[in-house]
Structure 1
């Protein structure tokens, strides 16, 4: 489940909510390290769908646009167990000519579980070299609003 979370003013931060499952844990009975990237990617794809009306698959198949991630950085802050309901906040920190610089923060209540910074690029999947393309015009205003939300959030 995903939901926007109200903040000061009429801007809403996107939050993706999910329960940690037993199958996502390792021998230590905590979420396996590699799953944290899955949690972040799942939240970002839900954000794409909520904010732009398209999933990664739909961008690729219906529009011929890929959104490969070219940079990923995750910091682990506390373990997750199947008792936890993880809420991952997604913010667009910077809108580039053909790239999105996205920040994620996963929390269980007030406890920070992980933080991440990820960069994806819009590319033409029809070209053999997947060259970057400018952010499609029809998504530009929505992405500009998201970048303004992140800027207002960091300023406040």
Structure 2
């Protein structure tokens, strides 16, 4: 996997037992996806507010393999599984000190916010997504 970001487990992420409440993982993954688009030169504020486009999540499948605890640092890795006309499927894995915490996939679709209809990725953005997800230096 090539796009890597680290996230600290914060108090807002955990339940009374001090472990990540599973919906918070989805928020973490969404933040990493937003970082991916920023790394590709596609600012979410610009995309949503000025261009009138969106990239909603249409499918997510995650296996939680071990609990994560308050204060731990999680390394989230994204890899390109499929880039279609309007859909992007990313492999997702999170590890803490090398130990896997979750793995799965997330699929996003580019849409026009006014109509809700899917639309093709701009070719320059598709190229930047491919290049960013395949460059281990990012």
Task: Give the superposition deviation at 1:80.
Answer: 0.7
- Once the two structures are superposed, what CA deviation does each residue of 1:76-100 show, in whole Å capped at 9, x if it has no partner? 0111112310110111211001110
Contact 2:3–2:132, Cα closer than 8 Å, also in 1:
no
In structure 2, distance between residues paired with 1:18 and 1:61? 26
Aligned to 1:144: 130
Task: Give the superposition deviation at 1:58.
Answer: 2.3
CA RMSD of aligned residues (A): 1.8
Instruction: Give 3-state SS (helix, strand or coil) of 2:108's partner.
Output: strand
Instruction: Give 3-state SS (helix, strand or coil) of 1:34's partner.
Output: helix
Aligned to 1:5: none
Contact 2:37–2:44, Cα closer than 8 Å, also in 1:
yes
Task: Give the superposition deviation at 1:146.
Answer: 4.7
Q: Which has the higher contact order (CA 8 A, sep 6+)?
A: 2
* TM-score of the two chains, using structure 1 as the length reference: 0.79
Ranges in structure 2 where 5+ consecutive residues have no aligned partner: none
Equivalent residues in 2 for 1:3-82 (5 A)? Answer: 13-50=2-39, 52-82=40-70
Aligned to 1:131: 117
* TM-score of the two chains, using structure 2 as the length reference: 0.89
In structure 1, distance between residues paired with 2:114 and 2:16? 43
Contact 1:121–1:132, Cα closer than 8 Å, also in 2:
yes
